[in-house]
Amino acid sequence: MTTGSSKNQVDNFSIHGHSIGEVYNIPMTAINRPIPSILDREKVEGMKKAMQTEEQKDDLTPIDVHHVQYKGEDYYFAFGGCHRWAAHKELGKEKIRGKLINTPPSMIKNYLGASSPFKDV
């Protein structure tokens, strides 16, 4: 499965986010990351460098953020994007570019089991 012929298009592919156009600047404190990251330091450093370079600062693909509405509250979860997340954290960024994927609470419960905040779905 490819989305285009150039390497960049293939690299930028996201199963969840590719059909979503809107990109938001999301406060990082609003996003839950339930899975600890295992990082390739070279990759994080490369991203930090790109973010600090005028021509490349917008090159990083937005991360996929699952948006759950549950009992009138909004919840945000990110499972991937580990290196982009680390690069933003280490540069002291407060917001990260992301695409919002409307996700039912039952799906988060499937992923997280007993650790899910959504118990009765």
82 annotated binding-site participant: yes
The interface with ligand ATP within residues 42-101 (CB under 6 A) comprises 46-47, 50, 56, 59-61, 80-84
Report the nearest approach of ligand ATP to the CB of residue 20 (Å).
15
Exposure of 107 in the CB half-sphere (CA atoms within 13 A): 12
Which 8-state DSSP code applies to residue 17?
G
**Which residue in the shown chain puts its C-beta closest to ligand ATP?**
83
Report the nearest approach of ligand ATP to the CB of residue 94 (Å).
18
84 annotated binding-site participant: yes
Report the nearest approach of ligand ATP to the CB of residue 41 (Å).
12
Which residue carries 């997280």 as its tokens?
A: 112
16 annotated binding-site participant: no
DSSP string, 24-75: EEEEGGGEE--S-----HHHHHHHHHHHTSTTTTT-SPPEEEEEEEETTEEE
Which positions lie near ligand ATP, rule CB under 6 A?
A: 11-12, 46-47, 50, 56, 59-61, 80-84
| Binding region for ATP | 81-84
